[in-house]
Structure 1
Amino acid sequence: MAGDRTLTTLGWDDITATADRIADEVRADKVPDVLVGVLRGGVVPAVLLAHALGVRTVRAVEVLHTTSDGVDAMKSAAPQVANATSLGILTGADVLLVDDVAGSGDTVARTVELVRTAGAARVRTAIFVVNAGNWRRPQEPGQALTYIGTFVDGWVVFPWEQP
């Protein structure tokens, strides 16, 4: 029932603290050449990380798994890619793929494939929030994802989604 679900609302202080922590982890492992944000929600964290890391090359790609905006939005059977060419050529690049939230893990997995197909030599992932209750990839999130901000069990509302 909708009233029984867990809803986590994050503020800008939460997001900037997460960005700073992830940036420290990334920096310790080597600053990437390129950041790729997953449109739409992953672009805001990607830009925050780009500034924190001093990376000027930021790209975006649209990979959607939800069919609409809003709490408990339905998901399509598989992530839908729009204009994969927006990644450009990533031949030999060290790429950090950034998204705001990972649920099932399908969108991240599909986007990693796209980045590798574009020629990236190294692909790491930074996910600000993992919805552990929805995860269904063969590996646990901590094994499948490189940098994780936090875990929740339920729907997340980010500050850029709030009126």
Structure 2
Amino acid sequence: MEPSSTSPLRADRPGPLFLTWDDLTTATATLAHQVVAAEVPQVVVGIVRGGMIPAAWLAHRLAIRDVRTVEVTRTTSDGINAAKSTVPIVRNPASLGDLTGLDVLLVDDIAGSGVTLAHTARMIHDLGPARVRTAVLAVNRANWTQSSDPHRDIDYIASLTDTWVVFPWEEQHER
């Protein structure tokens, strides 16, 4: 979905984009509507750390009680435009449990290059679920590397932007 001119994540803002909790309420509602239009999954998996909050929020909106997490990251620090590792680092994959035959929704806060989300989706797919879908609050098109269109690789996107996004749960020093 392209952001409208009133979207909190519109692409024409210069520099880092600092989001508020109200912005996240809107983005999460957008994702929930997209998911419900397709079919409510059985399990929500959040990518630790950034995906935990939107995963829990979506699970509540969708009335899903089975919420799990897995730690997969490429960002080496918490700063704006932080360096990335060359490959995603996975910690504690056993936290996913048994996903055999289940409909899984994988959630993260943002897809920059898309590598972490794609890697995690493949890892979950290898665990034998019936279906794996992906959802993100935002895609940073300036860093996107997976294909020409993020909508081809991600099932549900609340908004698109062309800059670094800072979420309300992160340090927000550069206002």
Asked if residue 40 in structure 1 is aligned to residue 49 in structure 2, the reply is yes
Q: Deviations over 1:131-163 (max 9, x none)?
A: 000001135201110000111111110011146
How do residues 1-163 of structure 1 correspond to structure 2 at under 5 angstroms? 6-162=15-171
- TM-score normalized with structure 1 length: 0.94
**Cα displacement (A) at 1:126:** 0.6
Residue identity matched to 1:43: M
Q: Superposition RMSD on alpha carbons, in Å?
A: 1.1
* Alignment check: 8 A CA contact 1:61 1:84 kept: yes
- TM-score normalized with structure 2 length: 0.88
Identity level (%)? 51
Where 2:169 maps in the other structure, the secondary structure is helix
* Alignment check: 8 A CA contact 1:100 1:129 kept: yes
Runs of 4+ off more than 3 Å: none
* Alignment check: 8 A CA contact 1:6 1:153 kept: no
Where 2:85 maps in the other structure, the secondary structure is strand
Write 1 or 2 for the structure with the bigger share of helix. 1
- For 1:162 and 1:18, the matched residues in 2 are separated by 20
Q: Deviations over 1:11-46 (max 9, x none)?
A: 001101111111111111110000000000000000
